[in-house]
Amino acid sequence: METDHLILREDVLRTVTVPEQEANLKYLEQKAIEQAATAEEHADAADAAQVAAAQAQAVSIASATAAAQAKSDAAASATQAVIAKQVAEQAAANIVSGQLLGWAQTQNFQLVSGTRDANGALTAAQIAWPDGTAGVFTADVLSTAFPGAIDAWHATYVGATTKTVTQPAMTRDANGAVTAQPAILIS
């Protein structure tokens, strides 16, 4: 099963099928490859800027007359290196956010330990994301019309930077099927 978009479950309690998981993972892998290529381009630009800074520094040592110009060039190159490094770091953060979004949309995290209410709804839990990073899951809105169902939740990702993934409240029909699911937010 191939797809150019993520396959979402309408029933969050239903187990994801293997073809759905494979299609979602294939899609997310493609997106990660695209973002990694962009990050690699930015990293190459940072390397080029660092080489340019080293060359400018060598020119300033070789020529006392050109020292002022070389210093100016080195400063400009260092600024470019800092900017390129910031761009590369942002690209890496975007890759993590993209992975988190895919994992969150498929609720692809492992329950380490959790607490359930009298209806069996998971209210709070320690979780592990697919990359092994720890997090905390919290149910924000439990369905009153369909006991045991979770209508809104958030989960943390405590990696190099901490991120919070939030599923705003969903809307259900009279049978409990999700009819409107707002986009997942990452902050």
This prediction's pTM: 0.51
DSSP symbol at 148: T
Residue range 65-91: average pLDDT? Answer: 68
Determine the Cα–Cα distance for residues 134 and 99; give it in Å rounded to an integer.
15
Does position 142 have pLDDT exceeding 80, yes or no?
yes
134-142 and 122-128: which strand pairing? antiparallel
| Strand, coil or helix: 157 | strand
Determine the Cα–Cα distance for residues 22 and 19; give it in Å rounded to an integer.
5
The position carrying tokens 């900017």 is 83
Does position 62 have pLDDT exceeding 80, yes or no?
no
What pLDDT digit, counting tens, does each position of 94-110 carry?
A: 556 788 888 888 887 89
The structural domains of the chain, with segments of one domain joined by +, span 19-103, 109-186
